[in-house]
Amino acid sequence: MVSKVIISIDGTSSTGKSTIARRIAKKLNFTYIDSGSMYRAVTYFCLKNGIIFNNKIEKKKLSENLEKILIDFKLNPINSQNEISLNNNFIDSKLRSLEIAEHVSKIAKQKNVRNFILKIQHHYSKKNNIVMDGRDIGTVVFPNAKYKFFLTASSKTRAKRRYHEMKKNGLNISFSDVLENIITRDKDDSTRTNSPLKIPDDALTINTEKLSLDELEKIILDHIKNN
């Protein structure tokens, strides 16, 4: 079997990873997989099923329930996008709340959750050429990915982007809460023991602070063409 091509796009929160990853996948006719949405989906499940209770994770309940979680990516007929489904329901629009953002890093640092998601990530790479974005894609999930990118921008710029996106989606939030969440998550994601957020040695790091999406897309596609 010819091995599949993998493009990893890692970085801190709200650097535009998912938007650019989706665009690159479309351009190259690859499958786009949003790994953050998997951690968000598990968090959503935990909040709905009392596994996160009083801001704490019931760890025993979490491990008993992991096998009841069915995560898949398929075409959502409503918007024709490849989207996450949780137990056969499209839930992407429910995953972007501040409540999920405030709990997701606690869920994402659990070893059993990471192993559970790792299996799903590897499963997709067997079937398709993929673009996957996240925190540990180029370091832990696919250390042999053919092309690796790492996106950065200042926390203020990232919070502004996320705030406008959330407002556009009708969420009632304040800029300071969004900024605080981004700073807290960056810290939690980079300092955890399991698969911490870090720049892969062989990644191209891109500061997206002043780049338009078209400019960012060109940098990524040029790099792929020339390497």
Read out DSSP for 107-138?
HHT-HHHHHHHHHHHHHHHHHS-EEEEESSII
Identity at 96, one-letter amino acid code: R
Where in 31-70 is the site for ligand CDP (CB under 6 A)?
A: 35-36, 39-40
- Rounded to the nearest whole angstrom, what is the least distance from the CB of residue 8 to ligand CDP in the complex? 9
User: Closest CB to ligand CDP among 39 and 147?
Assistant: 39
Residue 33 burial (CB count, 10 A): 24
Q: Which stretch binds ligand CDP (CB under 6 A): 54-62, 130-138, 142-150, 164-172?
A: 130-138
- Rounded to the nearest whole angstrom, what is the least distance from the CB of residue 1 to ligand CDP in the complex? 25
Q: Closest-CB residue for ligand CDP?
A: 36
User: Closest CB to ligand CDP among 106 and 225?
Assistant: 106
- Rounded to the nearest whole angstrom, what is the least distance from the CB of residue 37 to ligand CDP in the complex? 6
Task: For residue 7, give the H/E element and its range.
Answer: strand 6-11
User: Closest CB to ligand CDP among 105 and 208?
Assistant: 105
Q: Which of 104, 159, 216, 220 binds ligand CDP (CB under 6 A)?
A: 104
| Residues in binding contact with ligand CDP, number by CB under 6 A | 16
Interface with ligand CDP, residue 105, by CB under 6 A: yes
Q: Which of 136, 150, 178, 220 binds ligand CDP (CB under 6 A)?
A: 136
For 46-115, strand residue ranges (E) read: 52-53, 56-57, 71-76, 81-86, 89-90
- Rounded to the nearest whole angstrom, what is the least distance from the CB of residue 130 to ligand CDP in the complex? 13
Where in 164-203 is the site for ligand CDP (CB under 6 A)?
A: 185, 189
Long-range contacts of 194-199 (CB under 8 A, 24+ apart): 194/109, 194/110, 194/111, 194/114, 195/114, 195/135, 195/136, 195/139, 195/140, 195/141, 196/135, 196/136, 197/10, 197/12, 197/135, 197/136, 198/139, 199/10, 199/150
Phi, psi of 131 (to 5 degrees): -110, 120
Binding site for ligand CDP (CB under 6 A): 13-14, 17, 35-36, 39-40, 104-105, 108, 134-137, 185, 189
